[in-house]
Amino acid sequence: MVDSRSKGAQFERDIVKKLNGFFDDNDLSFQCKRNLDQYQAKNLSDIEIPYHAIECKAYKDGWWWRPEWWTQVKESAGDKIPVLVYKFNNKSPRVCLPLYAINPEWARDNDQTAVITMDQWFTVMQENWAHYANS
């Protein structure tokens, strides 16, 4: 039987590794790590990177994110962009984020979302990193 906490922690480590690869590939002088305080305190994201608060979910079955996951990431994000990275067994990870994270000219509304692939999210961040820094 799979321990759900261990499965979640492993997924978070995988996402951290991918994010750090993204930062290295784009000459961004930042390295992230898991937020281990999340186990002791409420409303903390799993991973924080500049401008973003990330919640990771890994489950056995399903296809679409659950509304309570999005509520959780919005509550933990504060003034950062909420990002939900989720995956189900034998499926690729998906990223749910507000539309304004994709097009910064759109109104800041955390309830208008899009679901994209990890590679698409990295492209979005690459294209918008300078805008995020100036916001």
- Phi then psi for 39, rounded to 5 degrees? -80, -15
Which of the pair, 41 or 63, is modelled with greater confidence? 63
How far is it, in rounded angstroms, from Cα 111 to Cα 122? Answer: 21
Domains of the chain, by residue range, sit at 4-134
- Tell me the per-residue pLDDT of 53-80, one tens digit each, with 9 for 90 and over: 999 999 999 989 999 999 999 999 999 9
Q: What is the mean pLDDT of residues 28-51?
A: 74
- Residue 13 has a pLDDT of 93
Using alpha carbons only, how large is the chain's radius of gyration in Å?
Answer: 14
pTM: 0.89
Question: Helix 4-25 to helix 118-134 angle, to the nearest 10 degrees?
Answer: 60
User: Has residue 40 got a pLDDT over 50?
Assistant: no
Which of the pair, 128 or 115, is modelled with greater confidence? 115
Judged on CB neighbours under 10 Å (0-12, 13-18, 19+), 14 is middle
- Tell me the per-residue pLDDT of 74-124, one tens digit each, with 9 for 90 and over: 999 999 999 999 999 999 999 999 999 999 999 999 999 999 999 999 999
Task: Give the architecture-level CATH label for domain 4-134.
Answer: 3-Layer(aba) Sandwich (3.40)
- Residue 129 has a pLDDT of 83
